[in-house]
Amino acid sequence: MSSPSERSSSSAPSEFVFRLPRRALVIAGIAFGVGLLLFLAVWWAGRDKRFYTAEPVATGTQDSIVEALPEPMPAGEGASGMEEPRQPPPEEERPQLVETAPPPAPPVEPATTVAPPAPGTSPIALAPGASPVPIPGQTPAPAYPASAMRRGETGTVLLRVDVDTDGMPRKVSIEHRSGSRALDRAAVDAVKRWRFHPAQQNGQPVPASLIVPIDFNTR
């Protein structure tokens, strides 16, 4: 059987206690003291050199001097140094628009006359070109046939007129009929009494022909 002391020792919980040796404590104290002495020695040696203070920043150096702004330019010169815009030329130097009159229309070639005619005859006026021209006042209008007017017949007749060198209609033929014989006959009879300026070539009368329209209308 176990004794009461053994039972009490076995029933109590086991405890682990770490104890530094006294020698180690002495060594640690000595090392701390030596380190403190070294720090004080270094601090004392470098106190005059001020290694622990920041040097003042230099101010007012040449590089920090701000250059003065240039003086303002005279009022007559451009503020930016650029050329001033050119002023428009005076009124008298500006180009003026000169209106010119259109060229005159070429004059119409008047009717010419041939060499002096034979005694007792009047001079013959020639047309300005190679085609005969009716003489104003000598082109009587055709008479409207009464029978055609009663029937209400209308239309246009185209006549080919051959004119000789005297301005007389040598031949009158129908190029286009009106659809009424009475109207066609009346147109031919009227143009046979017309007079013309004969065509010319190199200042001399020549025979030529032209187309004459005759319009019949009851309105």
In the chain, what are the domains?
A: 133-216 (3.30.2420.10)
Which two structure tokens, joined as six digits, stand for 47?
A: 């106190």
How confident is the model at residue 35, as a pLDDT?
Answer: 87
What percentage of residues in the chain have a pLDDT greater than 70?
55
Q: What is the pLDDT of residue 19?
A: 63
Res 65: pLDDT: 53
Q: What is the pLDDT of residue 218?
A: 77
Give the burial string for 52-79 (b: 16+ CB within 10 Å, else e): eeeeeeeeeeeeeeeeeeeeeeeeeeee
Positions in the chain whose pLDDT score sits under 50: 2, 8-9, 51-52, 54, 60-64, 79, 95, 97-100, 108-118, 120-121
Give me the pLDDT at residue 118, please.
46
